[in-house]
Amino acid sequence: MRSTACDQIAHDLYLMAKEKPMKPDSATEAPGLPDHLICFAAYSVSHAFNQVYRSLLDEIGLTYPQYLVMLLLWRGDGRTVKEIGQAMHLESNTLTPMLKRLEAIGLVERSRDTTDERVVRVKLTQAGAEKQKAAEHIPACVARATGLQPEDLTELVQTLGDLRARLTKA
């Protein structure tokens, strides 16, 4: 169901990228401008990851960004909104509503820092801390879904990290 649509993406955008610099229906090899392709590949892979995560996270009642926040808090409790934002590349305009939703479902508590009333610290509740067990299986499931060996994953991560660094610098 999804895979057909996904294949279609790649096909269509592959054509799109190739078509620009050369004749519409000749030379099926030697792509000329893979830049549309690469950007869409990243976009598409990101969506595919979201799908995998979505199906896993539905069971424990979290969205993917919420899961990332919980991962951070499980590593270290009581972070400020700004710290979470730095780690996730998000700002308060996105985080505040998200953290309020996590608070509404009883996983975290938000409270003003007593020594600096500007900052809000986010702490895990009992339920939030216990949620970690329910999420423990997820990384292995995702790793399995990629179908990559650990060393290949590591290499790809390195490549993407370098690419991101160049993109954000530009």
Partner DNA sequence: GACGATTTAATCGTGCACGATTTACTTAGG
Partner DNA sequence: CCTAAGTAAATCGTGCACGATTAAATCGTC
Binders of DNA in range 49-78 (CB under 7 A): 50-51, 54, 63, 65-66
Binding mask 20-59 for a copy of itself (x = CB under 8 A): x----------xxxxxxxxxxxxxxxxxxxxxxx------
Scanning 17-25, 112-120, 147-155, 162-170 for contacts with DNA by CB under 7 A, the matching segment is 112-120
Alpha helices by DSSP H, listed for the chain, are 2-19, 35-58, 64-75, 81-88, 92-104, 126-134, 138-146, 150-169
How many whole angstroms separate alpha carbon 152 and alpha carbon 149? 5
165 counts as binding a copy of itself under rule CB under 8 A: yes
Q: Of residues 17, 99, 124, 138, which one binds DNA by CB under 7 A?
A: 99
Does position 44 interact with DNA (CB under 7 A)? The reply is no
Binding flag, residue 9, a copy of itself (CB under 8 A) = yes
Which of DNA, a copy of itself, none interacts with 120 (beta carbon under 5 to 8 A by kind)?
DNA
The nearer residue to a copy of itself, 104 or 140, going by C-beta atoms, is 140
Task: Give the residues across from 124 on adjacent strands.
Answer: 108
Distances, alpha carbon 134 to alpha carbons 44, 58, 130, in Å? 28, 12, 8
Cα angle vertex 70, ends 123, 102, to 5°? 70
SS3 label, residue 155: helix
Q: How many residues bind a copy of itself (CB under 8 A)?
A: 71
CA dihedral for 34, 40, 43, 44, sign (positive or negative): negative
CA distance 123 to 45: 32
With CB under 5 to 8 Å by kind, the binding choice for 137 among DNA, a copy of itself, none is none
How far is 31 from 125, CA to CA, in rounded Å? 53
Q: Least CB distance from residue 166 to DNA, whole Å?
A: 17
Q: Which C-beta is closer to DNA: that of 31 or that of 123?
A: 123
Q: Is 133 an interacting residue with respect to a copy of itself (CB under 8 A)? A: no
